[in-house]
């Protein structure tokens, strides 16, 4: 058992024992999630080596280092793409994923993982020092239950790290294909988090270089009624996660440069939003 689970058990909570495949199951039905189960492989931890997953994890990893966060509960962890990468930053990740096939892949990577939703865990109040919701909120028709549970279980000095897709104006067939309910503005994200008792400490954009391409190649055709069929949209999403080596190399150079710039000058726009929130101080 990891030190983090041992710490929570010392508060009176009992972790479910791992099954023979290494997964700690609280459910096996997959829960009611909008992400198409057949598409899960496009975000897998073993094969997803592309620039998008790498750059997102690098931005989060740098932020965790800045905030001195050594342990993170990754809620809606998919198939471990984030957990795998954050390990390179020395961060211990406890993954929580409701789809069994995703949880099983995380376990195959050697990660600590629960097959569950966050409410399933029934964690002690104010017990968790850091949560991550990485491209999760947009998959929830009503994210308030998830966020209310985050607020209940987050320690008074704890942090919530969030990434969401930016700009409803960039909505496209790709959003529909992967089960999004919405894209976010920084204002909408702040309002959502505030409604669950959280205060946003900072927001920043990621992937500024991808915005023109998303607008011209995805959003504009969709608005003109020429959006891709679902199968084609899924293939396009997979191509972004698993790009050709030459494309991946060039993109890594671009987003490495973006990251260096963003350390000094915030990007004015981006395809994703990265936010940090804490509990609101009681009056």
Cβ(184)–Cβ(273) under 8 Å?
yes
Q: Please report where in the chains the tokens 């961060």 appear, as a residue.
A: 91
Task: Give the whole-angstrom CA distance, residue 136 versus residue 94.
Answer: 16
CATH no., domain 3-279:
3.40.50.150
Give the residue-averaged pLDDT of 30-48: 61
Query: What digits encode the pLDDT tens for the residues 159-211?
Result: 999 999 999 999 999 899 888 999 999 999 999 999 999 999 999 999 999 99
Residue 35, pLDDT > 90, answer: no
Tell me the two tokens of residue 214.
């998303």
Tell me whether strands 272-279 and 198-206 are parallel, antiparallel or unpaired. Answer: antiparallel
- The answer to whether the beta carbons of residues 115 and 98 sit under 8 Å apart is yes
- Predicted local confidence at residue 232, as pLDDT: 73
Give the per-residue pLDDT at 186: 96
Q: Is 136 helix (H, G, I), strand (E, B) or coil?
A: coil
pLDDT value of residue 128: 98
For residues 135 and 132, give the distance between their C-alpha atoms in angstroms, rounded to a whole number. 9
CB atoms under 10 Å from CB of 155, counted, come to 14
**d(C-alpha 13, C-alpha 197), whole Å:** 24
Are 276 and 202 in contact by the 8 Å Cβ rule? The answer is yes
The distance from CA 251 to its chain's CA centroid, rounded to whole angstroms, is 21
User: Which whole number is the average pLDDT over 76-95?
Assistant: 91
Does this model's pTM top 0.75?
yes
Q: Tell how strand 272-279 and strand 154-165 pair up.
A: antiparallel
Per-domain residue ranges for the chain?
Answer: 3-279
Q: Is the predicted pLDDT of residue 47 greater than 60, yes or no?
A: no
Nearest to 272, CA basis, from 52, 28, 21, 112: 52
Residues ≥6 apart with Cβ < 8 Å to 18: 24, 107
Closest CA to 78 of 52, 60, 55, 97: 97
Categorize the per-residue pLDDT at 41 as very low, low, confident or very high, splitting at 50, 70 and 90: low
Q: What are residue 53's DSSP bridge partners?
A: none
In this structure, is the dihedral angle defined by the CA atoms of residues 238, 242, 246 and 251, taken in order, positive or negative?
Answer: positive
pLDDT at 283: 53
List, in order, residues 6 or more apart from 60 with CB less than 8 Å away: 82, 86, 132, 134, 161, 163, 274
Q: Give the helix ranges, DSSP H, for 24-131.
A: 51-66, 81-86, 100-108, 118-121
């Amino acid at each position: 058992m990891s030190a983090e689970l041992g710490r929570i058990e010392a508060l009176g909570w009992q972790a479910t024992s791992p099954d023979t495949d290494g997964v700690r199951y609280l459910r096996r039905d997959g829960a009611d999630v909008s992400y198409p189960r057949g598409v899960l492989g496009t975000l897998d931890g073993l094969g997803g080596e592309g620039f998008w997953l790498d750059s997102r994890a690098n931005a989060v990893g740098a932020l965790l280092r800045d905030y001195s966060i050594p342990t993170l509960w990754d809620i809606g962890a998919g198939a471990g793409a984030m957990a795998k990468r954050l390990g390179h930053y020395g961060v211990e990740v406890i993954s929580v994923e409701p789809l069994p096939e995703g949880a099983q892949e995380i376990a195959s990577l050697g990660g600590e993982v629960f097959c569950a939703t966050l409410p399933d865990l029934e964690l002690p109040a104010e017990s968790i020092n850091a949560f991550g919701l990485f491209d999760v909120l947009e998959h929830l028709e009503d994210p308030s239950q998830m966020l209310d549970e985050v607020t209940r279980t987050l320690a008074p000095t704890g942090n919530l790290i969030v990434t969401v897709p930016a700009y409803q104006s960039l909505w496209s067939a790709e959003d529909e294909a992967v089960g999004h309910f919405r894209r976010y503005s920084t204002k909408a994200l702040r309002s959502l988090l505030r409604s669950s008792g959280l205060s946003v400490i900072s927001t920043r954009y990621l992937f500024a270089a991808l915005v023109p391409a998303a607008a011209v190649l995805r959003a504009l055709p969709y608005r003109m009624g020429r959006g891709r069929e679902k199968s084609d949209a899924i293939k396009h999403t997979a191509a972004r996660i698993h790009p050709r080596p030459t494309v991946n190399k060039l993109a890594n150079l671009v987003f490495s440069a973006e990251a260096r710039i963003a350390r000094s000058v915030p990007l004015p726009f981006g395809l994703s939003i990265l936010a940090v929130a804490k509990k609101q101080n009681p009056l």
